[in-house]
Structure 1
């Protein structure tokens, strides 16, 4: 449920130090202007409300949490409490929930130091709001976190035909990847692009290949399963979602140990489940990257936690 029932955008909890209120109010307005529903204590906790219960409720209802960090925020009791609660919620939801915006060049606390961030000083505040709004709306529409493709193809020649961007989504792994392909692609073209750009494996094994897992994949668009042999043009539009189902077939020295079955994390299979999980996770770990932004590329404009330099544009 959003913070304000009349707003349709993602609900975002804004955590900050009181000393930064003037700048945070500007950032709050930036988010409102971009269709985001931000919770800000000074605006949304009314006289007589229980502060702790209001904050807990707002965090639980939020789609995302953004920490507005500065030297003033360091060692502030409420800021640290909200960070701790947000980190717990991120683990529970198993998707990126915590985002960081800096108001100055103060170092982040150790628990947040490995994370990427956006800078909102030096004229970058509205740029930070733009990038956060873009990522939050995209991820919310797709229904999972969205990462760049693990093996993206090179940028096309600017004089070539325009490319189409679609989202390849796996519901079991709760992750999607942005994939580029030619307009008027066929199922055969689409599956070839997905196989290449997602680096989809066909097998993972141990003990010299005596024990392992074979992988195959099923693809759906708009609820219809795709025929990988079809050359009929697909009715794909920019931003469409293609669902990918990972199918595993465990095998041992004497052949297949079970019929092919959809991969579900934590499921028991015909050979020791620890071995199956290890093989599957090893083979597809590049698809379940834990990085909230999903890329270390400093030029990626859709990376909401990227370390921007103050003079970046």
Structure 2
């Protein structure tokens, strides 16, 4: 997942969806630990992966780092034709000349992210993608709880207590005629809520 750090709000959720669909994903923030050499870890990854997703944007076009990763991936592809490089367009920045012959995937505003994941992983339909994601959740063997409006939670985002330590309460605001879900951690007291419908 080659990208400029300013594009992380687009890249990280996409990487998470790929991982949930069963892909083995290498993302810097997940793989590089304190004390690791950044250059060493990225170099190691670029030497091992079979597919490089190059998230291209105005930010990436101005990034020496992204351009270096692109050059490294292209050099590797010259010696190993099985390596795939997939340009992932985040905006209207023109692709570099060496990437233009490659089929790209658009993640520009309004793009269907699930469709992009399916195309990259060769999954034929939305239903097959959902089944793949569900298998990943089952294989994790973790406890999950669903709170209407808040979504699925595996634990407290503040203290890390398991889902069994979370309590959900629905509250009605009669003046506004709104229903709210409040989720509270019985261990640390963290709570959050949102309007449900």
Pairwise TM-score range, normalised by the shorter structure:
0.5 to 0.7
Which has the higher Rg, Structure 1 or Structure 2?
Answer: 1
Post-superposition shift, 1:19? 0.7
RMSD (CA atoms): 1.4
Given candidates 51, 61, 67, the residue that maps to 2:54 is 67
Contact 1:89 1:97 in 2 (8 A): no
Contact 1:63 1:97 in 2 (8 A): yes
Distance (whole Å) between structure 1 residues aligned to residue 72 and residue 52 of structure 2: 10
Contact 1:64 1:98 in 2 (8 A): yes
Post-superposition shift, 1:102? 0.9
Q: Partner of 1:131 in structure 2?
A: 119
Aligned 1:275-290 pairs, distance under 5 A: none
User: What SS is found at the alignment partner of 2:54?
Assistant: strand
Aligned positions, number: 122
Aligned 1:1-313 pairs, distance under 5 A: 14-121=1-108, 122-134=110-122
Q: Partner of 1:232 in structure 2?
A: none
Post-superposition shift, 1:26? 0.8
What does the per-residue CA deviation read over 1:163-215, in whole Å, with 9 as the maximum and x for residues that have no partner? Answer: xxxxxxxxxxxxxxxxxxxxxxxxxxxxxxxxxxxxxxxxxxxxxxxxxxxxx
> Please, which runs of 5 or more residues in structure 1 have no aligned partner?
1-13, 136-313
What does the per-residue CA deviation read over 1:132-163, in whole Å, with 9 as the maximum and x for residues that have no partner? Answer: 0117xxxxxxxxxxxxxxxxxxxxxxxxxxxx
Contact 1:120 1:126 in 2 (8 A): no
Distance (whole Å) between structure 2 residues aligned to residue 94 and residue 110 of structure 1: 19
> Please, which runs of 5 or more residues in structure 2 have no aligned partner?
124-197
Post-superposition shift, 1:105? 2.1
TM-score of the pair, normalised by structure 2: 0.59
TM-score of the pair, normalised by structure 1: 0.38
Distance (whole Å) between structure 2 residues aligned to residue 134 and residue 116 of structure 1: 14
Regions of 4+ moved over 6 Å = none
Higher helix proportion, which one?
Answer: 2
Q: 1:96 to 1:49 in 2, by over 3 A?
A: closer
User: What SS is found at the alignment partner of 1:113?
Assistant: coil
Q: 1:93 to 1:18 in 2, by over 3 A?
A: same
Distance (whole Å) between structure 2 residues aligned to residue 123 and residue 113 of structure 1: 20
Distance (whole Å) between structure 2 residues aligned to residue 125 and residue 107 of structure 1: 21
User: What SS is found at the alignment partner of 2:122?
Assistant: helix
